[in-house]
Amino acid sequence: MLSLRADKKAKTRRSLIDSALRLIAESGIGGVSLREVAREAKLSPTAFYRHFNDMDELALALVDEVGISLRQMMRQARLRAAAKGSGVIQRSVEAFMEFVQDYPHLFRLLLGGRSGSSSEFRKALHAEMERFIAELQDDLEKGARASKLPMLDGHLAAEAIVAVVFTVGAEFLELPAAKRSDLAERIMQEIRIIIRGAQTLAKKRKAPRVPTRKSS
pLDDT for res 41:
93
pLDDT for res 116:
47
Class at the top of the CATH hierarchy for domain 9-52: mainly alpha
pLDDT at residue 71 is higher than 80:
yes
pLDDT tens-digit series, residues 11-36: 999 999 999 988 887 777 777 889 99
The total of other beta-carbon atoms located within 10 Å of residue 28's CB is 15
pLDDT for res 213:
54
- CA 38: distance to chain centroid? 27
pLDDT band at residue 101, thresholds of 50, 70 and 90? confident
Lowest mean pLDDT among 34-48, 98-112, 180-194, 198-212: 198-212
**Length of the chain in terms of residues written:** 216
Q: What is the pTM of this model?
A: 0.76
pLDDT for res 214:
53
pLDDT band at residue 69, thresholds of 50, 70 and 90? confident
85: left (phi over 0), alpha (psi -120 to 50) or beta: left
Which residue ranges make up each domain of the chain?
9-52, 55-205
pLDDT at residue 216 is higher than 50:
no
pLDDT band at residue 7, thresholds of 50, 70 and 90? confident
pLDDT for res 49:
93
Domain 55-205, CATH number (from 1.10.357.10, 3.40.50.300, 3.20.20.105, 2.60.40.1180): 1.10.357.10
pLDDT at residue 42 is higher than 90:
yes
pLDDT for res 197:
87
Average pLDDT over residues 146-162: 83
Per the CB < 8 A criterion, the answer to whether 110 and 67 are in contact is yes
pLDDT for res 190:
92
pLDDT band at residue 211, thresholds of 50, 70 and 90? low
Per the CB < 8 A criterion, the answer to whether 12 and 51 are in contact is yes
pLDDT for res 108:
81
Please indicate whether the domains covering 9-52 and 55-205 agree at the CATH topology level: no
Average pLDDT over residues 54-69: 87
